[in-house]
Amino acid sequence: MDETREGKIFSLTREAFETLSRDYLFELFLRQARLIESQAEQIRRLEEKVAALEERLGMNSRNSSKPPSSDLPGNGVRMKREPSGRKPGGQPGHSQMLRALVPLEDVDKVVAVKPERCEHCQKPLHGEDPAPHRHQVTEIPKVKPEVKEYQLHTLTCEGCGHQTTASLPDGVRGRYFGPRLESIAALLTGAYHLSKRAAQEILCDLFGVKMSLGALSGCEERVGALLEGPVGEAHSWVQEQATAHADETGWKEGKHRAWLWELATKSVTVFLVRARRTKEAARELLGRFSGVLHTDRYGAYNIYKGLRQLCWAHLLRDFTALSEYLDPEAGRIGKDLFRRARRLLRLWHKVRDGTWNREQYQLATVRLRGDIERSLQEGACCPHKKMRRVCRRILKHADSLWTFTRIEGAEPTNNAAERPIRPAVLWRRKSFGTQSARGSRFVERMLTATTTLRQQGRNVADYMAEICAASVEGRPAPSLLPMAKFSE
């Protein structure tokens, strides 16, 4: 009986142990399964992060909006041409580039050089050469500043004994520098982007004028104020044109981030420095503009409800980045888009060069347009997250991809805005932006004036001297608007 009881106890104990073992093993299995699942998720996230970092590491000026100056040396972005084996310099058979002679009526001094004796028999020579060989030497005379002193006399009235002191003439009061000198000082910093200290040294070394940094800043302020009217007139004129190109780049005002906005046409370009890169700033830049607007895909320009043309140069860089994805399907779609976009631009060069007209271009690109749109639709359904996002964003503006094919004057790229903004970027890199709102107004007005004048082939120094002289003499400021031969 005792043996039976012990057997039952042993049997119950074994069953309980087996039950506990099964429960423990099952719980251990669940723990391991959950651990494996969490580790797999962590590995997936890390793989996505590594892929994103590799994509960022491969970003350069060829496949993103990064400037060429940010490309690292030796990364293979800037292609080097194969050596031709020829020596540097002009090659045999190239056309000569001779310096053009100044017209004789503009020559200050003519020196006649005649041979005294025959180089063959040494007999004295007489007479004149009706067509002598002309050789001109150009020199800049030493500049000596003209200093004009105003002596203010105080005279006593013989009748009442009151003393009256003369006042400075209009246009002289409060000034220590003449209009041309003020314009040169502003040009050195605002047009040629020199630092204030470098401008100070040039004024002293070349012109013999000693000017403090504060006085130089005062010249900038006065010239900037004089440009307010002409720049405002130019801004209104740009808003009335049939086509325009808009762009923006980073700026710095004091310790704060700011943005330099630009609206460009063929003969007038306007700049604005604003604290934000927002729709409000874009609205202020565009104003009442209602023509064809060329931009990149930045969202602030979505406020514009008129015809818009997206920049295919930006799209080409986006497609280059898509073609470099490691995912096979995404990479294939990206390569197709890149190849077709590049062909689209190559065919456009024939329109630009005058070989084709716009109708020929439309016919030649009908199939190409359909292929690009189908590839974008395919990319919008691709499992690759970034490919899907980029293609969907482009398709949101599908109507703005082809405006240039049907509207005269429209172009496929926004290069007309990017070219004028590059000098401003170089200025920012050297000066680190501006220190105040007054400095920002000077920058935007000087950039507007100098860029516009150069577009029209007008002399920047002459215009600045004229606008300063006009203020002294009480005349209206000269306009920045194009003359008849420059009008669009």
Cα–Cα distances in Å, from 374 out to 238, 244, 331, 451? Answer: 37, 30, 15, 41
User: What's residue 10's pLDDT?
Assistant: 54
Q: In whole angstroms, what is the distance from residue 194 CA to residue 279 CA?
A: 33
Quote the DSSP letter at residue 346: H
Greater confidence (20 vs 163) lies with 163
Q: Residue 487: pLDDT above 50?
A: no
Q: For the chain, what is the mean pLDDT? A: 85
What average pLDDT does range 355-375 have in this prediction? 88
Q: Any idea which of 155-159, 167-171, 284-288 has the lowest mean pLDDT? A: 167-171
What average pLDDT does range 169-190 have in this prediction? 86
List CB contacts of 398: < 8 A, sequence separation 6 or more: 373, 376
Question: Tell me, what amino acid is at 389?
Answer: R
Q: In whole angstroms, what is the distance from residue 428 CA to residue 273 CA?
A: 12
User: What's residue 4's pLDDT?
Assistant: 64
Which tokens hold the place of 385? 């997250």
Report for 54-58, 333-337, 352-356: range of highest mean pLDDT: 333-337
Q: For residues 451 and 420, is the Cβ–Cβ distance under 8 A?
A: yes
> Helix or strand or coil: residue 251?
strand
Q: In whole angstroms, what is the distance from residue 212 CA to residue 434 CA?
A: 19
Question: φ, ψ for residue 122 (rounded to 5)?
Answer: 70, 15
Q: In whole angstroms, what is the distance from residue 384 CA to residue 399 CA?
A: 25
What is the Cα Rg of the chain in Å? 36
Q: Give how far the C-alpha of residue 47 lies from the chain's centroid of Cα atoms, to the nearest Å.
A: 37
**Which tens digits make up the pLDDT trace of 423-446?**
888 888 888 888 889 989 999 999
Find residue 293's DSSP bridge partners.
244, 308
User: What's residue 480's pLDDT?
Assistant: 94
